[in-house]
Amino acid sequence: MADKPALARIAVVAAGIAAASALHYYTPTSAILWHYLFQRLYYLPIIYAGVYFGWRGGLAASALSTLSYVPHIRHAWHQTDYAMDQYAEIIIFFLVGGVTGALADIGRRQRTELLATSEQLAQVNRELQNSFEQVKRADRLSAIGQLSASLAHEIRNPLASIDGAVNLIESPRTPEEIRAGSLAVIRKEVQRLNRLLTNLLDFARPRRPEFQMIEAGKLIDAIIGLAGHAAERKGIVFRKDVAPSTPPFECDAEQMKQVLLNLAINAVQAMEGPGEVALAARQSGASVAIQVRDEGQGINDADIDKIFNPFFTTKEAGTGLGLSVAYQIATQHGGTISAERNPGGGMTFSLVIPVRQGDPA
């Protein structure tokens, strides 16, 4: 079955040579122009054989053409100068057959090498993909392990405090003021656990944004109103700085408030004494950039890359989920959130959201 195409091509070569020879034999010698034409017809099967069978096939077809054509030359043209031209043409048969076949062999080798190289590259690509998938699975397992360990740690501490407070309450020798303090500890730790679970649910199942156009200035006013009282108790003032050219942008207003309120409260908590927290908004290309700048101690350079990781926190009572949720919300809006240290101290958090959803941030 595999030899049928080759046999068919051999038959085509033989038929072509036979047809050219027959035309020579059955055409009168007086029609010399036709003989010139028929002589060129030999090149078709010779080139065909060279292309499909290489230099050996080209030379074989040239030899078969010679054997078919020489008797005609000797019989019809042996007494004329035309015969010498035909013998010279036979040399060209072999040159054309050999060169065509050699070039075809080179092309086949190159195609074979190219296919082999392509297969090797495909194999390497498959191996890289498998390795990449294994790395991703390992990263997911590692992240799950870290998440579980962090969550267990965050839950264990409040439970330990609650357990200690309950033991004090149960003891008959515990004074009433300590009992009251223990109840306050229980209430505080229960609220902490509830806040942890709320943040965890926000992180695990973020709500789909409900987009609407909103002005950055109004958003900042709402944040100042919500966080202003906590700032006043520490002598901290909020400064609003919104460029007049800042356009309204498309977002989920409640989720943007959640993100910016988290950043504003973090800024207030990072400052130990009086100072200023700046809330600024500017247009940045096709996006709006909102910055929250504080005058606190800042974050260590080694920790800046970790602050958006779940459960990473530098606060004693922090859950480590606030910035992770903020990062998810920014991503859902097609935007980005980043942090950098200020040259004079403190941190600047930058939230960049496209003016129109679907545009690159």
What pTM value is reported for the model?
0.50
Q: Tokens representing 22?
A: 């027959």
Mean pLDDT across the stretch 254-278?
A: 89
Query: Which residue intervals of the chain bear CATH 3.30.565.10?
Result: 212-354
Q: Over the stretch 268-289, which tens digit does the pLDDT of each residue have?
A: 988 888 999 999 999 999 999 9
Cα separation, 157 vs 12, whole angstroms: 89
Q: Over the stretch 130-144, which tens digit does the pLDDT of each residue have?
A: 777 776 666 555 655
The CATH code that applies to domain 212-354 is 3.30.565.10
Residue 77 pLDDT class (50, 70, 90 cuts): low
Mean pLDDT across the stretch 207-230?
A: 89
pLDDT of 175 strictly over 70: yes
Cα separation, 93 vs 62, whole angstroms: 5
Main-chain phi, psi angles of 321, to 5 degrees: -115, -15
Question: Side chain identity at 230, as an amino acid letter?
Answer: A
Q: Tokens representing 225?
A: 């109103």
CA-closest candidate to residue 69, choices 49, 40, 95, 98: 40
Mean pLDDT across the stretch 136-155?
A: 62
pLDDT at 130: 78
pLDDT at 80: 58
pLDDT of 232 strictly over 50: yes
Cβ 281 vs Cβ 216: under 8 Å: yes
Mean pLDDT across the stretch 47-59?
A: 88
Cα separation, 176 vs 80, whole angstroms: 139
Cα separation, 144 vs 56, whole angstroms: 66
